[in-house]
Amino acid sequence: MPDEIKLTHTSALILQTLGAGYRYGFDVMEATGLPSGTVYPALRRLEQLGLIQSTWEKESKAQAEQRPARKYYKLTAPGERTLAKAVQRYPLLQHMKGAS
Amino acid sequence: MRGPVWLIRPAFLVRAASLLVPARRREEWMREWLTELHYAREHAGEARLMAFASGAFHDAVWQHRDFWTLDRISQRAQSALFCMASIAAVVVLIVLASGFLPMTRGVLMPLPYRDAAGIVTVAQSGTMAMRAGVSGQAVELWRENSVSFDDIATYRWQVAPGGGAPLSAWVSPNFFHLLGAKTSGGRSFEGDALAGCAAGPGANPEANPEQCVILSYDFWRGVNGGSRITLDGKTYRVMAVLDPGFWFLSPRIAVWRIGAPGPAERTGVVARVRRDFTKKEVETELGVILRDAGMNEWESMVELTGVATRVHSALWSFAMGLGLAVIIILPSLRVRMPSWNPRAATFFAAKTALLLAAVLLCGIEFTHATSITMLGGTDALTEPLSTWLFMLGSMGVLVWSIADQRRRCRVCLRRLGMVAHVGCPGCLLLNWAGTELVCMEGHGMLHVPEMAACWQEPDRWTSLDDSWQGLFERS
């Protein structure tokens, strides 16, 4: 992984959204207002860069609640560092509210 | 009217988009999208759900961005499917470049002449001299004395002096009537309708002040369908326009001029034989007529060939080329071909057949073999060229096809890779030296000796069992 990854504003926004506690694709869409065709490819790219990590929810837990298991995303340590730098670069990202 | 509702359902869009995702990633990709769709349905209306699902296409296409690396492309290029697709693309290219195979269609479709079985071409001095044509004097002798012909006509063709289109041909006034050609405009060819139209080299300019031409349908359409046309700086009257399907010698001939050859000129001859005469009887009669006129034995040798036979001889020429190629290749075929299995045999047969089809189409379309085989009076190099092209092409196809087959995995038919030279080439007596190639999927290894020796197999295939798979796993 390169030492310093420069993210686009959209990627930084998605990273910030995940950092704020939103955990899956549709959640990120709702928080950012970005379309699905932007959010999901961006999630793939961020994961490839090692800035986020995805995990599938346990089937047993999802079945108990009678819903399909979903894929969660969370920031990695390099992702948190990159996000901190991105926030300096894009100050408006600081205004993102956390997930309830 | 209510359309197919399932087509506009979000889940259908996601499933359709999944077809664009590389197979290895498809299952997980679709699982995530269908799950997300489930949750989106709880929060969004139908219209927004559709917009959400439409994004799946963008995500699916994006999946290819990092998937199609150079390494992966080269892996794909090794597959049997890629090989077949490439050859098929070449065939399609030939079809498009030739303008949808006009020559081949001419060979395979029924000929556009009335009662084509009764029409023959006539060669003087044996078929080997066919291209030299028949002298105008001989044609006149046959016209006056033969009782076995209903009619006899002449034809010659040439490329315009500037080398550019259109291709033109000189034919005698009764040529189209003899063939039973139809017109789509202008005069019909009945009787001596074109007799006063002669403009050829043998024609008397004072007798025919009105020079005229007959045009092919496509050419006439191309020049905006007028009743007069300017060619080589001269204006001609368009006497008739041929039926769109008509061709003789070549579908590319656009301009037909009327003119009989002079007595010393050589020309192609086409005739309609009376039903009650056999080919042998006609040949004998024509020979006798020439001998009686004082021509020697060689000049009096006459040979008739059906027009249909001449047209189809382009295919025979290919069959002969292929046959020769097989005879030449056959000895090495037995030694060099890998052991057969049904899948490999099918692939080999399909690959070879497609390549041979490409050679055949190239030969027929681009050397104008059909024109040549019907002809008197073209350049002598072209016919051998087409035959040689067929033969060399067929040999090339067979050699390449066998060589390609040998270098493919016996299990998955991928091209073998990771070429390694093993052993010492100078120590052949005591050690094995050669090249080793490996199937990138881990199915086996091919050992190709440096030098073929009578005591060993030319190629040896070693299958690798599952314990080797760890070495070949890819991310």
Tell me which of A38, A40, A55 to substitute to probe the interface with B (most B C-beta atoms closer than 10 Å).
A40
pLDDT in tens, chain B (475 residues): 444 454 468 888 899 999 888 888 889 999 999 999 888 888 877 778 888 988 999 999 888 776 667 777 787 888 999 999 999 999 999 999 988 888 888 788 888 888 888 899 888 865 455 556 788 889 999 999 999 988 999 988 765 555 454 578 888 888 998 998 888 876 777 766 666 666 544 445 445 556 788 998 888 888 877 778 887 778 888 888 998 888 887 777 888 888 878 787 888 889 999 988 998 999 999 999 999 998 888 888 888 888 888 777 777 777 887 888 888 777 766 555 666 788 888 999 999 999 999 988 887 787 765 555 544 433 444 455 666 777 788 888 988 998 899 889 988 899 998 888 888 877 767 777 889 999 988 889 998 888 776 666 678 888 888 887 777 766 4
Residue B379: predicted pLDDT: 40
Q: What is the ipTM of this complex?
A: 0.90
Q: Which residues from A are below 8 Å from B40, CB to CB?
A: 26
Across the interface, which of B32, B58, B63 has its CB nearest the CB of A37? B58
pLDDT at A78 > cutoff 90: yes
Contacts 24+ apart (CB under 8 A), B272-279: B272/B115, B272/B118, B272/B119, B272/B120, B272/B149, B272/B150, B272/B151, B272/B152, B272/B178, B273/B118, B273/B119, B273/B120, B273/B148, B273/B149, B273/B150, B273/B304, B274/B147, B274/B148, B274/B149, B274/B150, B275/B118, B277/B148, B279/B120, B279/B304
Tell me which of B21, B39, B64, B66 to substitute to probe the interface with A (most A C-beta atoms closer than 10 Å).
B39
Residue B90: predicted pLDDT: 94
Q: Compute the distance between CA of residue B261 and CA of residue B172 in angstroms, rounded to an integer.
A: 8
Q: A98 touching B, CB under 8 A? A: no
Residue B378: predicted pLDDT: 39
Across the interface, which of B35, B56, B63 has its CB nearest the CB of A70? B35
The structure tokens listed for A4 are: 């310093």
Beta pairing class for B183-186 and B167-171: unpaired
∠ CA B71-B75-B78, nearest 5°, is 145
User: Cβ neighbours of residue B181 under 8 Å, at least 6 residues apart?
Assistant: B112, B113, B189, B242, B243, B246
Q: Tell me the pTM.
A: 0.64
A69 and B36 within 8 Å at the Cβ level: the answer is: no
Q: B38 touching A, CB under 8 A? A: yes
Q: Compute the distance between CA of residue B361 and CA of residue A51 in angstroms, rounded to an integer.
A: 56
B55 and A39 within 8 Å at the Cβ level: the answer is: yes
> Do residues B228 and B292 make contact, with C-beta atoms less than 8 angstroms apart?
no
The structure tokens listed for B188 are: 């019909």
Q: Which residues from A are below 8 Å from B53, CB to CB?
A: 36
Across the interface, which of A30, A44, A68 has its CB nearest the CB of B35? A68
Mean pLDDT across chain A, nearest whole number?
Answer: 87
Q: Which residues from A are below 8 Å from B48, CB to CB?
A: none
Across the interface, which of B35, B38, B63 has its CB nearest the CB of A71? B35
Residue B259: predicted pLDDT: 82
Residue B193: predicted pLDDT: 62
